[in-house]
Structure 1
C-alpha cells in the first residue's frame, strides 16, 4: 500500500517531468547494470520518499520527487567516450564529477526549479561535488541515490530481501 501511495505522489509531483520528451529519452540510456536512467531516477524518488517518511521531521515531498527525477538529467550515454586513465588525464573530468552540473543545466532549460530542487540536483554526488548538500531533501536524495546505485550495480534491484 505504501509503495502505491509513493508512486502516486511521484506521478503527481513529477507529471510535467514525465511528459517532457527529454525525460522520455532517459529510458534509452543505461545508468547502472541493466537499469535505464529513467528507471533509476524513479527508484531514487521512491526510495527518497520512503526514507523521508521514516524521519521525525518534515520534508518537502515535492522537492524530493522533482530533484530525484532530475538528478541524472544529463541526457547522454555516459558509457560512451570514456576518458581512458593515463598519467595525464584529469580525474575531475570523469562523469561522476561532471554530470550533476550538466543535469542541472539541462533541467533549468526545461523546468522552473526551486533553489531546493537545484541543490538536490547539483549536490547529489557529494562528496565528489565537494560542497555538501544544503537542505534535508538533498541529503535524503543523495543517500537514496547511493543506495539505488549500489543495488543496481550489484543487480539486486527488484529482488525481495528476506526479513
Structure 2
C-alpha cells in the first residue's frame, strides 16, 4: 500500500509524537507474527488504518486512528510465553502501557481496548476510529500470519525501511 507524498507527510506528522518513545521503540525486540516485530506490525496497522480512513472517506479522527493503530499492541512482553491468555489480556496491558508511557487519551485507550473484537466479545468497538483500527489489525494480522510467514511482507519491508 503506497502512500502519496502528501499522505506520507500527514502520516509521519501524526506518528512523530509517539514513535520515538522508548516503550514504543522496545516493541522492536518482540516478535508478533512469523518474523515480524511488534513494532513493524503496529506500524503497518497504523498505516493501513490511516489509508482506509483517508481513501474510503470514513471520517475518523486521523490522530486517534494513527495513535491507536501504533499503540494497540504495546503490551511489552513475549506473548509466545503466555499463548492462550494473551489474546484475552494483552489489550488491557497495551492500554495501561499507553497511558503510563504516553499519557494516551480516552479515545486512543478505547481503540486499544477493543481492537481484538470479536475475540474480546464484551469489548465491542464503539467509535469510528476503533472500528477502523480493528479491521486494519485483522487485515494485517491475516497477511502476516498466512501469506508471509518466512519471506517478509511488502508491508513489513516498507515499515522496516521507515523505522531505520
TM-score (normalizing by structure 1): 0.83
The 2-side partners of 1:28 and 1:3 are apart by 30
Please say if 1:133 is aligned against 2:125.
yes
Aligned position for 1:123: 114
Are 1:29 and 1:36, in contact at CA under 8 Å, matched by a contact in 2? yes
Segments of 5+ residues of structure 1 without an aligned counterpart are 84-93
The aligned length equals 149
Change (3 A) 1:56 1:121: same
Change (3 A) 1:43 1:96: same
Aligned position for 1:100: 91
CA offset digits 1:62-113 (Å, max 9, x no partner): 0000000000000011112446xxxxxxxxxx11110000000111001122
Q: Which has the higher helix share?
A: 2
Are 1:33 and 1:155, in contact at CA under 8 Å, matched by a contact in 2? no
What root-mean-square deviation, in Å, do the aligned CA atoms of Structure 1 and Structure 2 show?
1.8
Aligned position for 1:111: 102
Aligned position for 1:35: 36
TM-score (normalizing by structure 2): 0.83
Change (3 A) 1:51 1:33: same
Change (3 A) 1:79 1:115: same
Change (3 A) 1:73 1:136: same
Segments of 5+ residues of structure 2 without an aligned counterpart are 156-164
Q: After superposing the two structures, state which structure 1 stretch, 127-136 or 145-154, moved more.
A: 127-136
